[in-house]
Amino acid sequence: MNTKIPTVTVLMAAYNSERYISQAIKSILNQTYANFELLIIDDGSTDGTIEQINTFDDNRIKLLQNENNQGVVYTRNRAIEEAIGEFIAIMDSDDIATPNRLEILLNKFNKQPQLALIGSHASIIDSNGHLTGQQIKVETDPQLLRYRLFFGNSFAHSSVMIRTSVFREFGGYRLPLAEDYDLFLRISTKYPVLNLDEALLLYREHPMGISKKFAVELDNQLILIKEHILFHLNLPSDKKYQKILTPPFIWNNIDIKDYKEFYTTLFNHIGAAEKPTLEVQKFIFEKWYEVIIKKAGKQTFVLFFTSPFFGWKYITAKQLRRALKNTVKNLFK
């Protein structure tokens, strides 16, 4: 009997997953790294999910069942409480892990012990398991990743491995419609996080529509996330700043001076913590550039050169021509 304490807990929440869960389980059991537990929490499935799980005879599998359907946040947080590994690897019950996923992520944690969370790109498969040729490409520059997270999720959820202690420190998941983005953003404002520049997951894409009720609830939960970002930047939780952080990011009813104040604050926040990389400087300038192109009119060329984000190292001739053209066009309006 194997009594070795597992280093990794693979966390798999399942609900009515009978069609795909066997493939997900096999991809974990066949990992090149073997010292793990596969903790499956069934959230009150009414199909053959449990029967599929019970076809596997492997003492690394631990199955827990909710008495009735409790939702993904409750289910995953229950698993976090039960986990005994030093690390938790997230695994959705319809995805497929590459054979060396756990080994590669653990090796990176060992080389960079300051990291709290690591993810990767994901290759997209269809409902039949066929590769579509598309990928979920995530930001791999460590510094830029932290600031891209202010504007949207930059992790493929089922690719991620997190230190269990960090998971518990942040209280696990909170928001049922944006639980992954919310958690990863909160972790990133305190600890180093990283995405590896390789695909360690096959992500199964399902066609789905979004109801109006769902969209409204999601917007309300995203507001809570934006409030956390603004608090982190020492900016007031003002609706105009929340909208600047929300797609499509450029809004007719927000003044250009508010954009400048926001991006200046963000730029100064980065500079106070660390020297911004060229990629980070370029990212903020490009955000500002799109604002002035759409809102500055005949002042475009002036604001192009006089912004605190301007730098010859990362502007392009195309941007320069477009700024000049936009200025001239608006001079005669």
**Per the domain annotation, does 220 fall within a domain?**
no
Residue 264 and residue 196 share a domain: no
Residue 241 and residue 159 share a domain: no
Find out whether 36 and 10 touch, Cβ atoms under 8 Å.
yes
**What confidence category does residue 1 fall into, taking pLDDT thresholds of 50, 70 and 90?**
very low
Average pLDDT over residues 189-197: 98
Residue 146 and residue 104 share a domain: yes
**What confidence category does residue 213 fall into, taking pLDDT thresholds of 50, 70 and 90?**
confident
Give the three-class secondary structure for 41. strand
Find out whether 225 and 189 touch, Cβ atoms under 8 Å.
no
Tokens of 177: 């419609």
Residue 82 and residue 39 share a domain: yes
**Per the domain annotation, does 78 fall within a domain?**
yes
Residue 121 and residue 30 share a domain: yes
**Per the domain annotation, does 214 fall within a domain?**
no
pLDDT attached to residue 331 = 87
Closest by CA to 148, choosing from 121, 123, 181, is 181
pLDDT of 210 higher than 70: no
Residue 174 and residue 33 share a domain: yes
**Per the domain annotation, does 1 fall within a domain?**
no
Average pLDDT over residues 76-89: 97
147-176, pLDDT tens digit by residue? Answer: 999 999 999 999 999 999 999 999 999 999
Q: How far apart are the first and last CA of the chain?
A: 81
pLDDT attached to residue 120 = 99
Closest by CA to 66, choosing from 12, 22, 15, is 15
**What confidence category does residue 212 fall into, taking pLDDT thresholds of 50, 70 and 90?**
confident
pLDDT attached to residue 188 = 97
215-242, pLDDT tens digit by residue? Answer: 889 999 999 999 999 999 999 999 999 9
**Per the domain annotation, does 62 fall within a domain?**
yes
Question: In the chain, pLDDT over 70 holds for what percent of residues?
Answer: 98
Find out whether 170 and 187 touch, Cβ atoms under 8 Å.
yes
Range of the domain at 141: 8-204
Residue 254 and residue 181 share a domain: no
DSSP class of residue 68 equals: S
272 or 144, greater pLDDT? 144
Mean residue pLDDT of the chain comes to 95
Number of domains the chain contains: 2
Residue 186 and residue 41 share a domain: yes
pLDDT of 25 higher than 90: yes
The burial of 76, by beta-carbon neighbours within 10 Å (0-12 exposed, 13-18 middle, 19 or more buried), is given as buried
**Per the domain annotation, does 53 fall within a domain?**
yes
**What confidence category does residue 2 fall into, taking pLDDT thresholds of 50, 70 and 90?**
low
**What confidence category does residue 68 fall into, taking pLDDT thresholds of 50, 70 and 90?**
very high
Indicate the helix (H) or strand (E) that contains 287: helix 278-295
Closest by CA to 235, choosing from 196, 188, 193, 267, is 267
List residues bridging with 196 in a β-sheet: 120
Find out whether 140 and 195 touch, Cβ atoms under 8 Å.
yes
**Per the domain annotation, does 45 fall within a domain?**
yes
Residue 264 and residue 119 share a domain: no
Residue 67 and residue 156 share a domain: yes
pLDDT attached to residue 208 = 67
Residue 81 and residue 29 share a domain: yes
Residue 130 and residue 238 share a domain: no
Give the three-class secondary structure for 52. helix
- Domain CATH for 59: 3.90.550.10
**Per the domain annotation, does 63 fall within a domain?**
yes
136-153, pLDDT tens digit by residue? Answer: 999 999 999 999 999 999
